[in-house]
Every structure is written in C-alpha cells, then in structure tokens.
Amino acid sequence: MDVALKLTELPRRTAATVETVEDLSPNDAIARRLRELGFVSGERVEVMAAGPFSAEPLLVQIGFTRFALRRAEAARIRVVRAVEQAA
C-alpha cells in the first residue's frame, strides 16, 4: 500500500522512497538545495536518528550520504514507504 508521508512523519529506520520535494514558496531556495543534495523522486531515504533536544535535527540517509536536517526542512520532503520485497 502506497501512503505518501512527510519525511518527518516517517518512523525511524524505516526504508522509504522520495516522491517529491515541495516548494513552500515560489523559488524556495531550501527546496532547491534539497533536490541538489539528492532528494529527488525515486531515491531511497531513511531517518537514522534525531538530535538530543526535542528530537531536532533529524539524521537522514539519502543515497550514500547523511545529512542533518531540521524538521522544517525535512517536512518539505514527501516520501512513500518502501513495499517489502519478496526477493
């Protein structure tokens, strides 16, 4: 079952796929940079951990790289939970 979530709503250490990055405003520079960092449709993404205070920021694995993203940044990223593969 495909359910689109915000990355912030994704449980920790759960595999998911990026669907899109939403612009919160016209020419959203943060959304543009997120796409440049690899948050584009079809990429595997996972929330690995969260910071010690108020669970901020999130430690996000995208591609082969880890980024620290604040929740406001991560909320721009729409993801779909990965369907369990048989193989």
Nearest-5° Cα angle at 29, 27 to 35: 100
Say whether residue 38 binds another protein (CB under 8 A).
yes
Say whether residue 51 binds another protein (CB under 8 A).
yes
| Residues 45/18, Cβ–Cβ less than 8 Å | yes
Per CB under 8 A, the list member of 4, 14, 63, 83 interacting with another protein is 63
Distance CA 35, CA 13 (A): 21
Three-class SS state of 72: helix
Per CB under 8 A, the list member of 16, 47, 69, 80 interacting with another protein is 69
Positions in the binding site for another protein (CB under 8 A)? 29-30, 32-38, 40-41, 44, 48-49, 51-54, 56-57, 59, 61, 63-70, 72-73
